[in-house]
Structure formats: C-alpha cells, structure tokens
Structure 1
C-alpha cells in the first residue's frame, strides 16, 4: 500500500488583517489552495518553467494572472487475496493518475480554477469504480473573496474538493485512484482564530465509459455547516452538522431513501512532545421506514523523542464504529462512513471498512534523515457487534459473517516508508500482512498480503 500520504488540510483562506512577506507557496494536495502571486516579483522566478506559474493578465495588477500546474502518480500494487480472498483472485497491476490545472486570477477578488484528469488502471483484473476515470473534469469552480467586518468572506460555486477534520469521514479520498469531488455552492467566513463555513452539494458520480461523462444528480445530497477555532500551540476545536441523503439504500433492516443527520466534534493539538487528535460522530435519521441511530469514536496520540537520533515517535490509535445489534427490529445502527479516507485509519490494502469495528493500533515512526519517514504498526481488530457483518472498505459487507460468533476479526502488520526526494517528487512503499480470525476463515476468507510502490510528481 504504497502511497505518498497527503497531509490533511482544511480549506485555507487569507485573514484580512494578516500580512506576510512574499514567498513561493508550498505544493498542496488541493492545488487550488496555492497562491502564486508572489512570483509577480521576477526575483522569485528562479526555477524552470516559473514563467508558466505566473502569466500576468494585467501589467499593473500583480493579483491578475494565470498559473498552470500538473500532477502525476504511478502506483504499482500487488494483492494475493483481495477482500480476504472472498471477492477476487490474486492480482498485480498499475494505477495511474494524471492531472493538469489552470488557476485564473482576474483580480484580488475573482478567480476561476479548472482541473482535468485522466485516471486509469492497467492490467487490473477487476477494476472498481474508484480505479478509472478517463479524461474528465476534477475541479471547475468560480470563487469570489472580499474583506468584510475585519475578516474575509469567500464564496465558491462549481465542482470542488473538500477535506475537513483529519479526513476520517469527509476526505479527499486520495488513497483510491479516483478522488471524490462535489458539485457545490460554498460560503466561508474567517476572522481572527475563527472559521465558519457551509455548503450544499451533490457528490460527483463517476463513470468510466466516455470522456467527460461524470455527473451529479438529485439522488445523492450532502450539505454541511461547520465552525472551527484555532487556539495556541496548533490546537483546534471544530464541529459540524451535516445532512446526508441517498436514494436506493439497502440494509437488512430497511431499504429506500437514506437520510442521516450528522453531528461531528474534533479536538486536535500538541503540547511539548505530545500530539493528539480525537473525534466523535453521531448519526440519526432513517432508511425507508427504519430508524437510524449510529456513532463512531476515534483517537490518535503520540509522543516524539525530539532529542533522540531519528526522532522516534511512539503512537497509539483507537477506533470504534457502531454495528447493528439486532436484525429485524426496524432499527439500523450500522455506521455510515460517508466519504472516508480508509488509508488514514487502516491501509490502502482495502481490507477494513470503518463500520462495525473496534481497532487498537500501536505504532512507531522514525526519520533516519530529512525527508524520509518510516512507520511500523500493528493493528488489532474486532467487531463492535457480532450480529453485524465484517466490512471491507468503504462499507462492503463480507458475506456469511453477520450473526456469526466471535468478535475478533483479525490482526495486521503494516510497514511503510515515505521519502520526499524534492519539493516536486516523492516516493512511497508499503507492505501489509493481514491474518484473519475464525469468523472470516469460516466465511471462506484467508490471510492476505499487500505490497505497493508509488512515485508522485507535482509541478
């Protein structure tokens, strides 16, 4: 499972009262978060193709320019038992993702951002919907920003990406080959240490039949209202309310239109050598005539020995998500992970979904030299309810596991390395071995091994 992890970033904005000296921006996972206006100073155009990062539109307005960019990712994967051997045969293949974008800044207020992509799987026996998207639109939005009441107000309309919290349940979905975008209208206000934002959206439904055939429709909705406060020492407290609605949902206790009201709270920060990130989510609603009541809790904490060679960090992660306690009672308690980043909580191998589970995962991370980070982790997994199934990513039940005895579902060992070769190029490698427990072995599952190697490029 090899992948260069994209660090999670919330939508960034510029506080109206903050002034920074011009400098080159860092390359971001969300390319629209970059501001290349600093290159209006010719002295900063020191690298090849810098003239394409800043193409002036109006000579006497440094905020009027076009910036071009591109991304590429090649990932080789091998999995000897996809879905624990219950869904497919051993497979090795290449996943490819190419993206290009144009960021048109008309002035300090108006902006147009367009990004196209070509996403393919090569030699994969059974490609999933998140593996392929030949030549289509990834982002296309117009944005307006203005100073207001001592802060900054921004509005954005069109196809766009979102990434809030630590991307457990609302993510860029950067691990799979096809990321998740939304056709949305967003409004955000920032002032001092506060940020308040909201959007209404229809998540993009991806098709791989023809070029530019992706679309959103009224059968899937996701709307959100969020507030965040940034405190001292990188501490932040955030919360959001969201409404998720989808037609055609099918659960053992109900089918039809699914509606979930979601409340999420997260607290993250650091102090001295400690860091932590805890989050909880409640879901209530209905699927057809059945009532929905579900929840999830997650936490990470670590201690870094900054004075020791290689700066080792000892970490612990704990996760839990509800499962359905009783079939046929007209109540659905199976957690819906919404738009999760499974690789953040588990691995890119896709063995575990954030549904009906309990996980305990200790880890150790070292930095042998600047730019290289290696992590070894050991995950222990159980079902939250034995009456519910074992789930693959994102929320696919494994047949013949619901209602079977034994909570424990398995253990996995994970070893990964991420090496930033330069500001433009990085590589990553990951190995995962999953040892299944009795409930999966009785359902026809087997131990599984995953290996991946990835090269990423950004300009």
Structure 2
C-alpha cells in the first residue's frame, strides 16, 4: 500500500494543477496540507474539489477567515487462510473494514481549529471485532493551533507521523488509525524543523464516543528534521508493561538518527536507535538498525525501482537476569513489513528485497520477498503492537519464516484508488517447533476515495 499511495498522490496533485499553482500533496494526517493559495477564485474553479478546499468566510474578529474540507471513504477486504500459521482464534477469516473520515480545517488569522471525526465499522471479523477493527463514531482528531512565526503551538487530539514511522506512526493500514492527546510545538530554526511532544495515546473503544486517553502510557520528546538527516529523543512510559512472563512499570528512552536522501536515481534510508531505561526494577539496553538502499531505472521498460531493506532488532539474551534487551517499537506503522505482517519489529533479523513497477501511467505494482530470523534464541516472536505470540521456551531455532507478496494499484481518478495484494508467509523451524505451522495466505482488496 505504501507503493500504491506513493503512486497515487502525485497523480492526484497533477489533476488539480494549473500553470500558476501546484496543489499540495494529499497526506494521511490531512492537517499538513496547505490550501491557502486557493484564495484566488480562478484557481478554485480549476477543479471540482476547489470550492471544498477553500471556503472564504469573510472576517471573524477582524481577521480573514476561511475553511477547508475533505473526506476519506475507504472499504478494505482481507481474506486469510491459516492466519498466525493456523494458530489464530479464527485462522480462516474473511472480513470487510469500512471507514469514513471527513475533516474541517478552520483558519482565522494566525489561529486554526482542525476537526476530523471517524466512523469505522467491520463486517465478518471472527471471533469478534477489536478496537482497531471498529470504533463506531468518534473524534479521531481535534485540536487548536496558534502560529507564532517560527513557533507553532498545537493542543488537542492529533495523529503523529515522524520520519518513516519506525517508532511513531498513524497506524493507517488497519481500520482505526492511532491518535494522541496532548501538546505539540513545531519550531523552525533555519532549515531545521523541531517537533516537541508531550502526549498520551488514545485508546479506542468499539462504541460511539467512547475513545479515551490512555492512563497507562505517555510519550514525550523532541524530533529534529534537517535536510537528509533526522535526530530525535523519545521518552516513553507504560505503567502496565508486559514483556514475556514479566510485568511492571516501564520507562524507556530512545535516541535515534536517520540519514535519508535521493541522488542520481539512487535512494537510501538508514536509521539507528539506542534504548535505555528501566522495566520492573531492572535495566533496559536495546537497539535497532535498519537500512534501505534502492536504485531506480526511470528510462527502462516499466521503470523498475529495486530496493533492498534489512533490519536488525535486538531481543532479550538472558531471561534469568533482571535486564531487558528486547527493543520496543513504541507506536509503529500498522503494516510494518507489508500487507501481511504477522510478526513485528522485535527480536528480529530481516532481509527484504523488492521491485516497484509502473505498468501504466496510472497503474503501479510491486513484488517483494522477505526472510525473518530471531536475533536472540532466548527471546520469542512478537506481533506489531508488541504482544508475544510465540514463546522461546520450546525451540532453539532462529528461522521464523519467509514471505512473498505482490501488490497492484490503479489510480482510477484523481480521487479514487483501487488496489489489491496477495501474500504468503511460510513458517520456518521456530514456528513449526512452537505450535501450529501452516502457511498463511492473504488476499487484500481496497477502494479508497479521498479529496
């Protein structure tokens, strides 16, 4: 889906382009889009969405006021055979996710109010839907913001997307995205943009208007984005943490750096994180290193873009001591290793080659493979949220399994994208020795309309 979105957004922007003005790229968070240039009525008339993206309101309290609106309507079907290698509560499951996410963005001078409700439901989730499957009608985002020149202050409920969402993401792939309640300050210093955070994650409920701020978890820190380099510190606390059979309070500090860029058809993204802190009275020492290097051939048939990703994520090396070596991915993106991601970035060595193809001007595709090993034989395998799904007690094997996946996306119009994926994850020795060991198959179909 990442490739599908990347293919779709420039197309959508181009469809709303005139000679004098370039439409902003549509984003997942939506509040990053700047439609202020549509104050010109002639620009608004260029495309049918123009009158919705800039609605002049005259003056409010002596300040120019305008409103921007939009919506996302998504339907997604996922069909599994032998989910979790046949060990899931409903291993042969097929369901449909439905969600609507309209938004309104009010600007009055240097002040701003952004509101985005969500209506999300599911059909056929077995044995029963969870809070990421459906949330009824709730407030996904709602904040006020003040532009103070080099500093922008924001308070309220908001989604967060930092870097490539290795640690802080929107959980966009599942049906209910992740939001946070709290404060954010964006500071511009030369070419750098620094985000200061003090937030708590939102815990979704399955009913209407029952999402609540987490009382157990908190996140704070600073994220500096410079040209081709990100530097950050993130603090995290969970008063009810669980790692393997141990429970207790966890306070974890993450220091990270990300080097990324593109030049002469090469592109790269290298990120390393070191973690330290305390869990259940013991020390935390964990780390990860991820690399992504790719080469595009825009003049070749189908314009292939070859990419090789590798990840090494620490695990706990000694279960009998009082130290924890398992890396915590905090709040990562939802589809971490692809459309089918039964395992998450914990105690992991991963290699993932892939190629992206442009089948037609509005049709893109990708083909990828991946292999997974445990970093430490003393630690188990976790899902993306960090829940232990296979314990290390019954096996010394490292190999978790291998996966193949193909995706295709068609930008049917500037607003409508249709996509599909097919995936298979064959278990390795560790999975076979610790429980059910069947091959997972998944078919995903999606329709996404947004402007």
Both structures adopt the same fold (TM-score exceeding 0.5) = yes
Partner of 2:142: 140
* Conserved? CA contact 1:54–1:67, under 8 Å: yes
Partner of 1:270: 262
Partner of 1:446: 438
| Superposition deviation, residue 189 in structure 1 | 1.4
Q: Does 1:291 align with 2:283?
A: yes
CA displacement, residues 226-283 of structure 1 (integer Å, 9 cap, x when unaligned): 21211xxxxx101110110011112246421111011111000011011000101111
* Conserved? CA contact 1:3–1:454, under 8 Å: no
| Superposition deviation, residue 128 in structure 1 | 2.9
Partner of 1:130: 132
* Conserved? CA contact 1:6–1:29, under 8 Å: no
* 2:105 pairs with one of 103, 115, 118: 103
* 1:335-374 mapped onto 2 (5 Å cutoff): 335-343=327-335, 345-374=336-365
| Superposition deviation, residue 49 in structure 1 | 5.2
> Within 1, Cα distance between the matches of 2:409 and 2:290?
24
* Conserved? CA contact 1:440–1:446, under 8 Å: no
Q: Does 1:28 align with 2:27?
A: yes
Structure 2, unmatched stretches of 5+, are 8-18
> Within 1, Cα distance between the matches of 2:111 and 2:340?
41
* 1:54-203 mapped onto 2 (5 Å cutoff): 54-58=54-58, 63-89=64-90, 90-107=92-109, 109-126=110-127, 127-147=129-149, 152-203=150-201
* 1:313 pairs with one of 296, 305, 310: 305
Please state whether the residue corresponding to 1:51 is helix, strand or coil. Answer: helix
Partner of 2:220: 223
> Within 2, Cα distance between the matches of 1:252 and 1:401?
9
* Conserved? CA contact 1:4–1:428, under 8 Å: no
TM-score by length of 1: 0.90
Task: Identify which range, 164-173 or 414-423, moves more after superposition.
Answer: 414-423
* Conserved? CA contact 1:418–1:429, under 8 Å: yes
TM-score by length of 2: 0.92
| Superposition deviation, residue 437 in structure 1 | 1.0
Change beyond 3 A, Cα 1:359–1:3 = closer
> Within 2, Cα distance between the matches of 1:301 and 1:399?
31
| Superposition deviation, residue 23 in structure 1 | 4.2
* Conserved? CA contact 1:254–1:290, under 8 Å: no
> Within 1, Cα distance between the matches of 2:334 and 2:55?
38
Partner of 2:12: none
* 1:253-268 mapped onto 2 (5 Å cutoff): 254-268=246-260
* Conserved? CA contact 1:224–1:240, under 8 Å: yes
* Conserved? CA contact 2:172–2:334, under 8 Å: no
Please state whether the residue corresponding to 1:439 is helix, strand or coil. Answer: helix
* Conserved? CA contact 2:232–2:257, under 8 Å: yes
Structure 1, unmatched stretches of 5+, are 9-19, 231-235
Partner of 2:14: none
Please state whether the residue corresponding to 2:37 is helix, strand or coil. Answer: helix
> Within 1, Cα distance between the matches of 2:120 and 2:42?
37
CA displacement, residues 30-71 of structure 1 (integer Å, 9 cap, x when unaligned): 211122222221111223353333222226999520122111
| Superposition deviation, residue 430 in structure 1 | 0.8
Please state whether the residue corresponding to 1:57 is helix, strand or coil. Answer: strand
Please state whether the residue corresponding to 1:331 is helix, strand or coil. Answer: coil
> Within 1, Cα distance between the matches of 2:195 and 2:386?
28
> Within 2, Cα distance between the matches of 1:135 and 1:70?
15
Please state whether the residue corresponding to 1:204 is helix, strand or coil. Answer: strand
| Superposition deviation, residue 445 in structure 1 | 2.6
Alignment RMSD: 2.1
> Within 1, Cα distance between the matches of 2:280 and 2:217?
15
Please state whether the residue corresponding to 1:311 is helix, strand or coil. Answer: coil
> Within 1, Cα distance between the matches of 2:2 and 2:262?
26
